Chains A and B, each alone.
Chain A
């Protein structure tokens, strides 16, 4: 009797541990990876490198935020890779041309950012209308938009890979934001605000790290806003409901057409932010800025525990997914492993992610029926 009950207790606690691991495996995996690279890679465990990884992750993270909404409704948005490019190209061109025409740099930047974000919404809106009203499958609608936006972005650069030639003064203002930080850590000297000191000897300069880089702050704000909408507000609740049971949502009186259009607009909008940020970081526009990041955004969403069948998922998961992908590629580079391995490793991680999520569902079933 006593033996059975203690055995049962033990089984229950093993179950709980298993449950915990399965539930938060992405976080655990990220921690283990950081630990591993810190022990094996020289220069990985430094403030400068962490800051660098965070900044690099913003692109995929921003795209994955909108993608999470889409995937929760059992859709997918393949067009956002080029929406990033479109926003990047438009913002760079408008800034350059306005500043060249004599407009004040600040005003030119504000106008360029607003127009680029507004333009980025257009493909999202069209996607939403096609999917919600004309009932085109998301895969097809956004694949079509993939081509259209790609063409549009390259037409705006006259076929060039980059929109360069931005006036020097504009470039330095862009850099002060795109590569700037609220706090700087200077080895041996402490912390300074806002401006990165320029007159440092190279061996110290290498260790300088932005503690709160602006791109990371901007991304964090976007994460908080969209995470709040998804997790706490009515819009988020309805997003989950649509992904869980579309018919039930219709019968409950949710306007799912309007809702889906909003979701694809969200997706395009966060991609637009990523595009504008790209222009700030590289002081140039690039139509193919996020060519590789598109599939990484889907990967980040899946690694973060969002189900491609819809109804499940979190923004925080997508952010962890984006971090995992970027820590992996950063770590592999530092270990001096051929960067092509990155594709293989990320591929394996995605498949493992899906397997773990399936195991989680099976575990939940087991626990309720057992």
Chain B
């Protein structure tokens, strides 16, 4: 039914004497939202950076759609279809939505059959189409991003990933620093990505978000996977126990 799109097997990463990741097995299937949880320093970010090509793990294998991506650069990983949306969103806030979705890959047209100019109208229309897919409606697409809300900006970052055919989206703390209504919107975005068959890895500290939107929950602790459970089997209590390691004590 659902097939495994990303597979990490026995991934280890060391920083000097510190073991940041210790034999981590992790996988993502098509059409699921996987929440990645853990205390600060548990290894969530290191794992994400290994997947997105920023770090090279010392041991283990990472395959994406069957292809080995351990030795790929961040740009190559992105070309394969893994889009990481960091907290800072990497948007040029002084430009409009179309310009951001197409940044670095601008659509051009010719004026007087000679000079290549940016086809802003086309880029705006295409951006609207993707945003419509996400059910996000921005009143004036000519507006600069500075004038948009945090949730709308998040949507633009996701729209950009979607437009360039992301097959897996990694979101780092997407609801941090947002007001409650904006948080709702972002969670709706995550759901809408899943509905379109695009799996999401969601890093979050907010238990509520996780319980609301995740299909599967992976808890990391001290560089290892401490728990891997379906959301329907999880309770906030149980998750917290895994995060702080209390379950080890009880057992």
Contacting residues of chain A (199-252) with chain B, CB-CB under 8 angstroms = 228, 232-234, 237-238, 240-241, 243-245, 247-249, 251-252
> B104 — which chain A residues lie within 8 A by C-beta?
238, 249, 252-254
Contacting residues of chain A (284-329) with chain B, CB-CB under 8 angstroms = 311-312
Q: Which residue of A lies closest to B108 (CB)?
A: A234
Q: Which residue of B lies closest to A255 (CB)?
A: B104
> A253 — which chain B residues lie within 8 A by C-beta?
75, 104-105
> A243 — which chain B residues lie within 8 A by C-beta?
94
Assess whether A364 is interfacial by the CB under 8 Å rule.
yes
Assess whether B92 is interfacial by the CB under 8 Å rule.
yes
Q: Which residue of A lies closest to B148 (CB)?
A: A368
> B116 — which chain A residues lie within 8 A by C-beta?
233-234
Assess whether B166 is interfacial by the CB under 8 Å rule.
no
Given contacts A234-B108, A254-B104, A364-B146, contact A248 B115 (CB under 8 A): no
Q: Would A249 and B105 count as touching, CB distance under 8 A? A: no
CA distance A339 to B164 in the complex (A): 59
Assess whether B88 is interfacial by the CB under 8 Å rule.
yes
> A254 — which chain B residues lie within 8 A by C-beta?
103-104
The one of A237, A238, A247, A364 that contacts B90, using a Cβ cutoff of 8 Å:
A247
Q: Would B103 and A252 count as touching, CB distance under 8 A? A: yes
Assess whether B99 is interfacial by the CB under 8 Å rule.
yes
Q: Would B106 and A248 count as touching, CB distance under 8 A? A: no
Q: Would B105 and A240 count as touching, CB distance under 8 A? A: no
> A252 — which chain B residues lie within 8 A by C-beta?
90, 103-105
Q: Would A232 and B117 count as touching, CB distance under 8 A? A: yes
Q: Would B147 and A368 count as touching, CB distance under 8 A? A: yes
Number of A-B residue pairs at CB separation under 8 A? 68
CA distance A243 to B93 in the complex (A): 10
> B91 — which chain A residues lie within 8 A by C-beta?
245, 248
Q: Which residue of A lies closest to B139 (CB)?
A: A368
Q: Would B118 and A251 count as touching, CB distance under 8 A? A: no
The count of residues in chain B whose C-beta lies closer than 8 Å to any C-beta of chain A is 24
Contact flags B106-117 to A (C-beta < 8 A → 1, else 0): 101001000111
Q: Which residue of A lies closest to B93 (CB)?
A: A244
Given contacts A234-B106, A241-B103, A247-B88, contact A311 B94 (CB under 8 A): yes
Assess whether B234 is interfacial by the CB under 8 Å rule.
no
> B117 — which chain A residues lie within 8 A by C-beta?
232-233
Q: Would B103 and A249 count as touching, CB distance under 8 A? A: yes
Q: How far is the CB of A49 from chain B (nearest CB, A)?
A: 37
Assess whether B246 is interfacial by the CB under 8 Å rule.
no
> A367 — which chain B residues lie within 8 A by C-beta?
147
> B118 — which chain A residues lie within 8 A by C-beta?
232-234, 237
> A245 — which chain B residues lie within 8 A by C-beta?
90-94
Assess whether B236 is interfacial by the CB under 8 Å rule.
no
Contacting residues of chain A (121-158) with chain B, CB-CB under 8 angstroms = none
> A228 — which chain B residues lie within 8 A by C-beta?
115
CA distance A234 to B91 in the complex (A): 17
Q: Chain B interface (Cβ within 8 Å of chain A)?
A: 75, 88-95, 99, 103-106, 108, 111, 115-118, 143, 146-148
A sample of 18 cross-chain residue pairs with beta-carbon separation below 8 angstroms, ordered by A number, consists of A232-B111, A233-B117, A234-B106, A234-B108, A241-B95, A244-B95, A245-B91, A248-B90, A251-B90, A252-B90, A252-B104, A252-B105, A311-B92, A311-B94, A312-B94, A364-B146, A368-B143, A368-B148
Q: Chain A interface (Cβ within 8 Å of chain B)?
A: 228, 232-234, 237-238, 240-241, 243-245, 247-249, 251-254, 311-312, 364-365, 367-368
